[in-house]
Amino acid sequence: MKLKKLISALKNYQIFNSINREDLEVTGISFDSRTIKPNEIFVAIKGENFDGHKFINSAIKNGASTIILENYKHLANCSIPFIVVPNTREALATLSATFYNYPARKMRIIGVTGTDGKTTTATIIYNILKTAGFRVGLITSINAVVGNKIYETGFHTTTPNAVDMQRYLSEMLSAGTEYVVIEASSHGLAQHRVDMCEFDIAVITNITQEHLDYHKNIQQYKEAKAKLFQYLNTNFHKPNITKISILNKDDDSFDFLKKIKSDIQYRYGFDQQADFSVENVQYSENGMKFRVKTPTDCFPIETNLLGEYNVSNILAAIAVAYSQNVSIGAIQKGIKSTEKVKGRMEIIPHNAGNFKVIIDFAHTANALQKALESARKFTSNNLIVVFGCAGLRDKSKRKKMGELAGKLSDKIFITAEDPRTESLEDIMNEIALGCEIANRKEGIDFFRISDRKGAITSAILSASDGDVVITCGKAQEKTMCFGEKEYPWDEYEVVQSALKMKISKEN
């Protein structure tokens, strides 16, 4: 694509060294100077830990044909075209969408945001639409499903960068995709990663305290989430496509988000005044059954998913399906087909004894509370939890999570969860303080084991008949961060290893 066409999509920019250069053929866009290829545009992004402006010369040496930047001071003796913009993250999204010829404008795009439950809700929506016969794409913190291909979407990142996002959408369009379901994190929204995704439906799961290390306060966090709903008014409006918002009537976010206009607004929740509500919920260790009331129907639902919070996630998905005129049969089958979502209250089969092992991604206070409350429903003896808190992230939740674990479980193993450059001992001490507030005694009720593998092994070896062991915080993530380095990590492999050890010791 010609440089002239690409930069014409930018709203506000100054271009330099462009004489006889605007007909340059651009072959790609990148924000990583190490992987830039000849004739690609380099976009200098200022991140939390690194500033791309400092790597402009490296990008030029590696063949970049044009530079997009915010600050002149990082550019010295540049002989190639460079373009100054107010916000390079926003420019990256615009350029990426333009480069791939605006793929989102040719499909229906559903965005799911919230503190907890995004992946599960997005997956249920995907399964319902797929069951209904639509060609559907999916982008979550676990992977991107593009036709018959599955891509890993990152390690600690929920929402892919803007270049990858538009590339995925372009591949989906080429594969004949009609609907795309995107999990949109607060970081992804605030950092313009999902700009130009042209959302048609916006869904909220909930908003509870999280990521205040980045967003500074709960109001800024709410405003980041609200961007998804504001996109309904500012994105490209596709012909004859209704813009729809799906709100959680039970959540504190409701009053805040309902003020944002959309063509149609649906409300879901346990609140019987909601457009989509439930009655007669029956819980078991194998799943749940309940009846759903919609604006026009009432019908039964069976699901293999566990936990009251998943009732809310299912209601949100049903609201999306209803808005797209999906039949009741397809809704029921699509929900039933969602046997499990990786790392979301996932029961691990084993023959090491009459106790259960669950892997869950819960890494917020709200998610930990919901996970433990759900696990308690089918615990006939002790509930044992293994968890930690991430370094360089919201510190205010640590004591609270320790207190919740102390109140809701019988035995707590405090351990590592990406301590990064913080002291792991200090993090564990903060969690332990919460356990002590809940009147739990160290060495009897809770234990500090810095090695996560050792903590999981100890928890499983301590399990007796009727117990439930739940590991929280890592789930599907493939690395663990200590200092500034990522080390390989596999929660599933560690759990299986501990179960084998349990069998060996029992025999």
Query: Residue 188: its pLDDT value, please?
Result: 87
Query: Residue 340: its pLDDT value, please?
Result: 78
Query: Residue 262: its pLDDT value, please?
Result: 96
As beta bridge partners, residue 110 has 181, 201
User: With 0-12 CB in 10 A as exposed, 13-18 as middle and 19+ as buried, what is 331?
Assistant: buried
Flag whether 475 is in a domain: yes
Q: How far, CA to CA in Å, does 145 sit from each of 142, 148, 149?
A: 10, 7, 6
Distance CA(420)–CA(392), nearest Å, equals 7
Flag whether 351 is in a domain: yes
227 and 256 share one domain: yes
Query: Residue 501: its pLDDT value, please?
Result: 95
pTM: 0.85
Q: Residue 404 — φ and ψ, nearest 5°?
A: -60, -45
220 and 311 share one domain: yes
Query: Residue 215: its pLDDT value, please?
Result: 44
Q: Residue 7 — φ and ψ, nearest 5°?
A: -75, -20
Confirm if 254 and 247 have CB atoms less than 8 A apart: yes
CATH code, domain carrying 399: 3.90.190.20
Q: How far, CA to CA in Å, does 69 sit from each of 21, 32, 49, 426?
A: 18, 13, 17, 39
List strand residue ranges (DSSP E) for 249-376, in order. 264-268, 277-284, 287-293, 298-303, 346-347, 356-360
Distance CA(309)–CA(100), nearest Å, equals 38
Flag whether 160 is in a domain: yes
Inter-helix orientation angle 308-323/365-376, to 10°: 110
Alpha-carbon dihedral sign for residues 233, 236, 240, 242:
negative
56 and 160 share one domain: no
Flag whether 96 is in a domain: no
Nearest-5° Cα angle at 361, 355 to 212? 140
Flag whether 496 is in a domain: yes
Q: How far, CA to CA in Å, does 19 sit from each of 16, 42, 400, 496?
A: 8, 19, 60, 63
Q: Which residues contact 123 (CB under 8 A, 6 or more apart)?
A: 138, 140, 338, 341
Flag whether 108 is in a domain: yes
CATH code, domain carrying 118: 3.40.1190.10
Write down the H helix ranges in 338-437: 365-376, 397-408, 424-437
Distance CA(205)–CA(247), nearest Å, equals 8
Distance CA(18)–CA(3), nearest Å, equals 10
Flag whether 97 is in a domain: no
Helix H or strand E encompassing 454: helix 452-461
Token pair 């333009």 in the structure block, residue: 98
In a structure prediction context, what are the per-residue pLDDT tens digits for the chain, which is 507 residues long?
899 999 899 989 998 887 777 788 999 999 999 999 999 999 999 877 788 898 998 999 999 999 999 977 766 567 888 999 999 999 999 999 999 999 999 999 999 999 889 999 999 999 999 999 999 999 998 889 998 899 876 545 557 899 999 999 999 999 999 999 999 988 889 899 999 999 999 999 998 865 445 545 777 888 888 999 999 999 999 999 999 999 999 998 899 999 999 999 999 999 999 999 999 999 888 899 999 999 999 999 999 998 888 999 999 999 999 999 999 999 999 999 998 788 888 999 999 999 999 999 998 898 899 999 999 988 999 999 999 999 988 888 999 999 999 999 999 999 999 999 999 999 999 999 999 999 999 999 999 999 999 999 999 999 999 999 999 999 989 999 999 899 999 999 999 999 999 999 877
320 and 463 share one domain: no
Confirm if 460 and 358 have CB atoms less than 8 A apart: no
246 and 225 share one domain: yes
Confirm if 82 and 66 have CB atoms less than 8 A apart: yes
CA 407 to chain centre: 27
Alpha-carbon dihedral sign for residues 117, 120, 123, 124:
negative
Flag whether 386 is in a domain: yes
First CA to last CA distance, the chain: 66
402 and 496 share one domain: yes
Token pair 């930018």 in the structure block, residue: 10
51 and 172 share one domain: no
244 and 312 share one domain: yes
Distance CA(454)–CA(249), nearest Å, equals 42
As beta bridge partners, residue 290 has 301
251 and 293 share one domain: yes
Query: Residue 72: its pLDDT value, please?
Result: 73
Spatial strand order in the sheet of 14-16: 14-16, 82-84, 66-69, 40-43, 28-30
Token pair 């809940």 in the structure block, residue: 438
CATH code, domain carrying 41: 3.40.1390.10
- Cβ neighbours of 346 (radius 10 Å): 21
359 and 482 share one domain: yes
Distance CA(341)–CA(203), nearest Å, equals 18
Among the three residues 30, 61, 91, which one is the final residue of a domain in this structure? Answer: 91
Q: How far, CA to CA in Å, does 469 sit from each of 70, 286, 347, 350, 466?
A: 50, 16, 10, 12, 10
Query: Residue 46: its pLDDT value, please?
Result: 86
Among the three residues 337, 356, 384, which one is the final residue of a domain in this structure? Answer: 337
Range of the domain at 297: 103-337
User: With 0-12 CB in 10 A as exposed, 13-18 as middle and 19+ as buried, what is 148?
Assistant: exposed
What does DSSP say about strands 201-204 and 40-43: parallel, antiparallel, or unpaired?
unpaired
> Which pair of tokens denotes residue 174?
């080429």
> Which pair of tokens denotes residue 412?
């707590």
Domain count, the chain: 3
Q: What is the DSSP letter of 24?
A: P
Query: Residue 75: its pLDDT value, please?
Result: 67
Confirm if 43 and 116 have CB atoms less than 8 A apart: no
> Which pair of tokens denotes residue 81?
């075209």
Among the three residues 337, 365, 392, which one is the final residue of a domain in this structure? Answer: 337
110 and 225 share one domain: yes
Q: Residue 150 — φ and ψ, nearest 5°?
A: -125, 125
157 and 277 share one domain: yes
